Amino acid sequence: MRDERTNRLLASLSSHLDALREATRQGRPPPVLELARSEIENCRNTWEAGVLSGEHHLYDFATLVAQRLVGTTQIQLVARVVMGQKEEDEGPGSQRIVIEETITRENLKRVTDYTLAQRIARRYRYRASHDQPFGVLYPRASFLELWPLDTAEDSPATRVLTRVKTNDQIWNKVCDALFAVDTLLQRNKILNNDSKYIKDVFGVKVLTPRKVDSYRVDAELAAMTFAPSELEELGVTVEPSLLKLELIEHKDYLALPPAQKKQTGWEAIKNVYRWGNQLFEVQIQTEANYYLEALHLTDTSHRTFEMKRRQMRRGLEKVVPHYADYRRLLKLLFRREDDEELHALEESLPWLRIVNGEATF
């Protein structure tokens, strides 16, 4: 998000939160935050355009990486969507369904990843048993998988996947950053000076046959450069910053001793690269560990994890002043809501005023 108006808007939210907290401590009336409708609309439009542009770069990046690591340009694109019912629980009647559909590069770039997942989900209905009505399915996670139709015998990778965080994940993370939730929960997930950036919006996963191949991929990415002709073949405008990868962050979870590994069994090399002006998180993972993770994504334990995360945020809403209000406000900024929703939000927050004129910040 490099739009000046959007950044001013988000900066004003941070400043207002500080002032709101100070007023609460001193027992003074809350300061008023004025948001112009034009600024809200600009934020939404900029966000949607930014996500779509970012996804285009993600697919180009993943294609280039896949062609190098699997040793072929013959790659099939497959949209993989994990879907579930609207209200999920931990019981056996709450299932998750995985749907895979092939897709062309042209169709892939017409809509955002989440919109594509929604369109795929709308084509299906599901019922847990024959005596129950069919219900609507909702996308819980979506991936683009790049399947090689041929591979070189000595290639270190077998497949490449991409994933984009959903809007809900983004505005929740932005709110968590404003309130330093990681510090509140005594978890340190921020590793460098880019702490205000969410670095895993656009993710790439590289699958390998063995751990030794994961380290081969890590080394190849470190030395990887692209020829202008490779970029032109994908329709990418050639710029110097696109001819190589810049490593921003490196963590080796493969080398951790068993006592320090995650309970789910997940392990990988996790790097963050800058390609052009965009950050990408790249996970390098063995196929065996990936299938363990894929099973976890669809089973009851992962739903339980998601429910606990939602419960955690609901718990914070009860004990952290203004956390609930800011979650609602950020949801409004990152998702299109109708005028009734906007009016209801303004009516419920005494310190929020939506105006038709220009922004005052």
Q: What is the DSSP string of 88-156?
A: --SSTT--EEEEEEE--HHHHTTS-HHHHHHHHHHT-EE-SSTTS--EE-EEEEEEEEEEESS--TT-S
pLDDT classification of 188: cutoffs 50, 70, 90: very low
Asked if the structure places residue 167 within a domain, the reply is yes
More confident residue, 305 or 168: 168
Residue in the structure block whose two tokens are 């009336």: 29
**205/265 Cα distance (integer angstroms):** 17
Under DSSP, the state recorded for 225 is B
CA distance 282 to 303: 24
Domain that holds residue 349: 4-355
Count the Cβ atoms, other than its own, within 10 Å of residue 260: 8
Residue 300 in this model has a pLDDT that exceeds 80? no
The partner residues of 202 in beta bridges, in order of sequence, read: 164
Report yes or no on 361 lying in a domain. Answer: no
Residue 118 has pLDDT above 60, yes or no: yes
In a domain, 95, yes or no: yes
Residues 54-76, mean pLDDT to the nearest whole number? 94
pLDDT at 144 over 50: yes
Residue 350 lies in a domain: yes
Is 179 a residue whose pLDDT tops 70?
Answer: yes
SS3 33: strand
Does residue 9 sit within a domain? yes
292 is a domain residue: yes
pTM equals: 0.77
Q: Within a domain: residue 360?
A: no
Work out how many domains the chain is built from and give that number. Answer: 1
